[in-house]
Chains A and B, each alone.
Chain A
Amino acid sequence: MDFSESQLERYSRHIILKDVGIEGQEKILKSKILIVGAGGLGAPAALYLAAAGVGTLGIVDSDLVDTSNLQRQIIHFTPDVGREKVISAKEKISQINPDVKVITYKERLYSGNIKEAIKDYDFIIDGTDNFPAKFLINDACVLSKKPFSHGGILRFDGQTLTYTPGNACYRCLFKTPPPRDAVPTCSQAGILGAIAGMLGTIQAAEALKFIIDKGKLLTNRLLIFNALDMEFRTVKFNKNPDCPICGKKPTITELIDEEQPVCDLKKKNEN
């Protein structure tokens, strides 16, 4: 419990909080959080978690920074265009808070490597932009008993839920990815940049609440908001006994890679 003078000052506004305090800040400093995707959701989440003093941040992304990312992926700056997203993110995190240890993964997660990637982390943030990845993260976390925050954004809408072992999972709500073309992708539909910030910071707050073990998480609840009307609501849902992964008779016992298109722009970058 050795807080340096400058740490005390840096985290003073946390420590003052009754629900954080010295004990809570200590937990944050010891915590390990993995952010999958250093994009619209991952960028604000990574910045806030870094500022909060999370001990270890893992960042997963295989992409390079593209000019079209800058409108919302605020961890990347104009000179970063063309650089690896994970490197760009790591630099910014170190500048915000040198206390934070950053581990980068310049790779795509799939059924073969995700379990290994998440195993050392206390909490996972899903900042991905496609359904196969979201289902993969859900399945891996359920099977590995890891808590995670799901997030999704489109146009002016956002949705998020938090999974902790024993509670309802993403598949309890959505059994399988939607059929191809049923949901437009980013490049087709667009996104208001600030929406990414709103949702990413909600995910960061959920992660911190989990770490300090205070408050009520978005478990068994789906938070939905529409920023055009600026209306927020939460929809309660229960653990689904027929859930293919966490139900009574699970049909998914091993990780699978669902089929879905990813953003066209990203595909282009991969090439």
Chain B
Amino acid sequence: MQTYNLPDKFDDDISNLEELINKCIASEITPAELKAHRVPFGVYEQRKVDTYMVRIRCASGTVTPKQLEEISKISERLGNEKIHITTRQELQVHYVKLGDIIPVIKALRDIGLASRGGGGNTVRNIIAQEDSGIAKDEIFDVAPYATALTTRLISEKDSWTLPRKFKIAFSSSSSDRGYATLADIGFIARVKDGKIGFKVYVAGGMGAKSNPGHFFLDFISDDQVYNLTKAIKNIFWKYGNRKNKHAARLRFLFNDIGEDEFRKRFDQELGAVEKENYLPLEIKANENIGLDPDLGDSPVKDQEDFRIWKERFVKEQKQEGLFSIIVGVELGFLANEKALKLAQFLIPFGENVIRLTKDQNINLRNIKEKHLSHLYLFLKENFNGFNRPFILDKLISCAGASTCQLGICLSRGAARSLISTLGDSDLNLDKLANLKVNISGCPNSCGQHPAADLGFFGKANRKDGELYPAYNVLAGGVIKDEETKLSKKLGEVSAKDLPKLVKEFLADYIKAEEFKTYQDYLASQGNNKLVELCKKYSKVPSLAEDKNYYYDWESKDIFSLAGRGMGECSAGLFDLIDVDLKNIVQTTEKLNNPPVSGEARGLLLFNLVFYATRMLLITRGVEPKVEMDVYTGFRQHFLDTKLVDSSFREVIDAGFSKNHQILLKEEDKISDLVKAVKYLYEHMDNAFGFKVPGLEKKAASDKKERVVKDFRGVACPMNFVKTKLELAKLQSKETLEIYLDDGEPIDNVPGSVKAEGHRIVTQEKIEDYWSVIIEKK
């Protein structure tokens, strides 16, 4: 069985990354430069210094037993003691050393897997509901579409340079177990007039500002999947917001331009895509048949336990005589050794037997009834707690503040505490097998709390001036075609009391047997119960009364927000440009502070030319390997195209030949070159085009420095008043840069400026304040 195909040029990509890693090890490039290439390759830095996580793309959550076997070996050899299943149906290898990244990536390549697109602003793993192909209620198997689409998209270069991550999901029926109604593009299988195809949702997603996908098309035939995806990807590539990663996902573009405009652009893009006559996706059906390995007789002694296990985890497939089985994996962490044994046990059952699930468990399929006992005995021997109620393993938590820089609370600690509280309770947990309990450590939805039946996301509360970890309490998320709605906040609870609150709430739900569904329960009783429980636990003792409330779960340190930082997951092109911008600032400072002369000055000027010349090459798709590439690239893409005035040719040549005499003589020209490059950057649009107002007029306006005004410390609305005063002094299309405080100022001023018809060119957070660049209307 083929999972997805690796792109033809994949080996080149690996070599490039290898070279950069080697350079980084040799300190020839900075870690920041490496990061911009590393993250889109699915390699994230972990909190432990110099260790990395490699995220492996598993389209539709499919891995073969042989692949799983190899991954567990790779993890054992080059990672740590366990692998991890993600909520996007992927596998991760953790704590890989910098020098081991390439060996890991090559070993994965050898078994047909890639980490590329595991992170960064890329087409992320394409998911499909885990029981697609075997579910009784499905329209048809959608997993082959996820696989084929993966093959196609990962071979396209522009899949790696999107404004932000791009998530695609497939569901095989309207019950939407693939979360298609929460994706950038979501496909839900349906049949119309005898043709198979999909209903399409777009621009949904979870994050700091989650929203359900918007209904987009009632039906497209299945041969249109690629064209539609390509058209939407093109819209995103061209118009998505590249400069503000907090408002960059497709849903922000959709909201920004509105549905009508979005559809208009879609029609344009689709028209263009259709003219290209791309081949439709090559769909290879997955065979769901049961194999018959000879495993001998293995009688089950404890028939009652066997029966309970079957009730809990075994489900009939639509294929008669075949069964699917859930293997619970607490919080998605699977020891290498267990993964290895499971893989080896499964190899005789064929290749199409494993799906990784969105709730971080494993779903096995295509097992004949007579082999259930074999599987049961295997799990009993190797997986402790394999027969505990499913809710304990279904529960989802994000990584939380222990490893995530954005994290506020230690969500995994809270989750483990909750698991043990529930596990130790006398509640009938089997009644909760389908309940989605989700915990995120911060508002960024990685624990998928917006989709939860009962969800939490971390926050920091204050009592008498002391911070303590707490969670917002949410409930009522529904994910279903036409019915999707996000969970709503009902209250909050301290991290400490979270397990107690959940236990009491679930006890109430279990007891309330008169309700048909959890939704019914919530509507008539559950919501009130949650509100009441939040009230009950709202009293937090002072630090002096009870310290425990001020320590997060599994933490030895008193709770604080120190060490929170920027997330890595959107590292990309702009970080590279930033590297050179910073280089330029630093070099300029070194030149004059105190003034340097002679040879040393010549060298600094050379550096300045080099950084200015290199800074924007990445926007033209040039990734210079050697110094010469920088100059040839700049000549070709900026001088020859007249984006930069040809009068700079001399200093560029002098930089290339390292002629310090000329550089020293032409210092003013060099500073003009820096300005010219910065000017282009400021006028770059979201698709890397330079919107320079009238190229011929450019030289004149180049000399005019952009006005920068610092409105930090100026309260609303005076900051807006002063912004208007400055704008009034400008000509149309000239730009103004202002600094604003975080909070009310940044929330209000750009919107007000926009409402007056001016354009916000960029809006970026710098430390604790914001820089906003405005183009006058």
**What residues of chain A have their CB less than 8 Å away from a CB belonging to chain B?**
1, 3, 8-9, 12-13, 15-16, 18, 21-23
Task: Please report whether the interface of chain A is mostly helix, strand, loop or mixed according to DSSP.
Answer: helix
B720 at interface (Cβ–Cβ under 8 A)?
Answer: yes
Query: Which residues of chain B are within 8 angstroms of A18 by Cβ–Cβ distance?
Result: 755-756
Query: A12 contacts which of B721, B728, B729, B756 (Cβ < 8 Å)?
Result: B721
CB neighbours of B280 from chain A (8 A)? none
Return chain A residues, CB-CB under 8 Å to B755. 18
| A5 CB to nearest chain B CB (Å) | 9
Contacts of B725 in A (CB 8 A): 3, 8, 15, 22
Q: Complex formed: what's the CA distance from A150 to B715 in Å? A: 41
Chain B 736-777: CB-based contact to A (< 8 A → 1; otherwise 0): 000000000000000010011000000000000000000000
B263 within 8 A of A: no
Residues in B685-737 with C-beta less than 8 Å from chain A: 717-718, 720-722, 724-725, 727-729
| B residues near A9, Cβ cutoff 8 Å | 718, 721
| Distance in Å: Cβ of B107 to nearest Cβ of chain A | 61
A8-B718 in contact (CB<8A) = yes
Q: Which residue of A lies closest to B752 (CB)?
A: A16
Chain B positions within 8 Å of A13 at CB level: 717
Given contacts A18-B755, A18-B756, contact A1 B729 (CB under 8 A): yes
Interface centre among B718, B721, B722 (most CB of A within 10 A): B721
Task: Supply 8 further A-B pairs (C-beta < 8 A) apart from A15-B724, A16-B720, A16-B752.
Answer: A1-B728, A1-B729, A12-B721, A13-B717, A15-B725, A22-B724, A22-B725, A23-B728
Q: How large is the interface on B (under 10, 10 to 19, 20 to 34, 35 or more residues)?
A: 10 to 19
Q: How far is the CB of B711 from chain A (nearest CB, A)?
A: 12
Interface pair A21/B724, CB less than 8 Å apart: yes
Instruction: State A95–B737 Cα separation when bound (angstroms).
Output: 38
Task: State A1–B730 Cα separation when bound (angstroms).
Answer: 12
Q: Which residues of A contact B721 (CB under 8 A)?
A: 8-9, 12, 15-16
A22 engages B728 (CB within 8 Å): yes
Q: Give B719 Cβ to nearest chain A Cβ, in Å.
A: 10
Which 10 A-B residue pairings sit nearest by Cβ, starting from the closest?
A: A22-B728, A12-B721, A15-B721, A18-B756, A22-B724, A22-B725, A16-B717, A8-B721, A15-B724, A21-B724
In the complex, residue of chain A having the shortest beta-carbon distance to the beta carbon of B727: A22
Residues of B within 8 A of A3 (CB): 725
CA distance A22 to B721 in the complex (A): 8
Interface residues of B in 346-383 (CB under 8 A from A): none
B756: chain A residues within 8 A (beta carbon): 18, 21
B728 contact set on A, CB distance < 8 A: 1, 21-23
Closest CB-CB distance, A27 to chain B, in whole Å? 12
- In this complex, what residue of A is CB-closest to B729? A1
Residues of B within 8 A of A8 (CB): 718, 721-722, 725
Residue of B at shortest CB range from A3? Answer: B725
> Which B residues are CB-close (under 8 A) to A23?
728
- The CA-CA distance from A21 to B717 in the complex, in Å, is 13
Task: Point out which of A8, A9, A16 has the most chain B C-beta atoms below 10 A from its C-beta.
Answer: A16
CA distance A16 to B720 in the complex (A): 7
Report which residue of A9, A12, A23 has the largest number of chain B beta carbons within 10 angstroms of its beta carbon. Answer: A12
For B727, the chain A residues whose CB sits under 8 A away are 22
| CA–CA, A22 and B718, complex, Å | 13
Report how far A1 CA is from B755 CA in the complex, Å.
23
CA distance A8 to B727 in the complex (A): 14
Once the chains are docked, how many angstroms separate the CA of A8 from the CA of B724?
A: 10
The interface residues of chain B lying within 8 Å CB-to-CB of A22 are 724-725, 727-728
CA distance A107 to B622 in the complex (A): 81
Enumerate chain B residues within 8 angstroms of A16, measured Cβ to Cβ.
717, 720-721, 724, 752
What separation, in Å, do the CA atoms of A9 and B718 have in the docked complex? 7
Q: How far is the CB of A168 from chain B (nearest CB, A)?
A: 34
Q: How many angstroms between the C-alpha atoms of A3 and B725 in the bound complex?
A: 8
Write the nearest CB–CB distance from A80 to chain B, whole angstroms.
Answer: 35
Given the complex, which residues of B lie within 8 Å of A15, measured CB to CB?
721, 724-725
Closest to A8 in B: B721
The docked-state distance in angstroms from the alpha carbon of A163 to that of B756 is: 30
CA distance A16 to B727 in the complex (A): 13
29 contacts between A and B (CB under 8 A): A1-B728, A1-B729, A3-B725, A8-B718, A8-B721, A8-B722, A8-B725, A9-B718, A9-B721, A12-B717, A12-B718, A12-B721, A13-B717, A15-B721, A15-B724, A15-B725, A16-B720, A16-B721, A16-B724, A16-B752, A18-B755, A18-B756, A21-B724, A21-B756, A22-B724, A22-B725, A22-B727, A22-B728, A23-B728
Minimum CB distance partner of A26 in chain B? B728
A14 to chain B, nearest CB (A): 9
**B717: min CB distance to chain A, Å:** 5
> Taking CB as reference atom, which chain A residue is nearest B725?
A22
Give min CB distance, B758 to chain A, whole Å.
11
Measured between alpha carbons, how far is A259 from B553 in the docked complex, in Å?
93
Alpha-carbon distance A23/B756, docked complex (angstroms): 13
A18 to B727, CA, bound (A): 13
Residues of A contacting B717 in the complex (Cβ-Cβ under 8 angstroms): 12-13, 16
Distance A227 CA – B727 CA, assembled complex (angstroms):
43
Query: Hey, which chain A residues are within 8 Å of B752, CB to CB?
Result: 16
How many Å lie between the Cα of A154 and that of B717 in the bound state?
A: 41
| Alpha-carbon distance A1/B720, docked complex (angstroms) | 17
Q: How far is the CB of B561 from chain A (nearest CB, A)?
A: 35
Smallest CB–CB gap between A233 and chain B, Å? 32
Residues of B within 8 A of A1 (CB): 728-729
CB distance from B442 to the nearest CB of A (A): 35
Q: Whole-angstrom distance from the CB of B724 to the nearest CB of chain A?
A: 5
Which residues does chain A contribute within 8 Å of B720, judged by CB atoms?
A: 16
State A18–B755 Cα separation when bound (angstroms). Answer: 8
A98 to B720, CA, bound (A): 25
A12 to B723, CA, bound (A): 11
Nearest B residue to A16 by beta-carbon distance? B717
What residues of chain B lie closer than 8 Å to A12, measured between beta carbons? 717-718, 721
Mark interface residues in B551-571 (1 if CB within 8 Å of A CB, else 0). Answer: 000000000000000000000
A17 to chain B, nearest CB (A): 10
- Residue of A9, A13, A15 with highest tally of chain B CB at under 10 A: A15
**Bound: A33/B101 CA distance, A:** 77
Cα A16 to Cα B717 with chains together (Å): 8
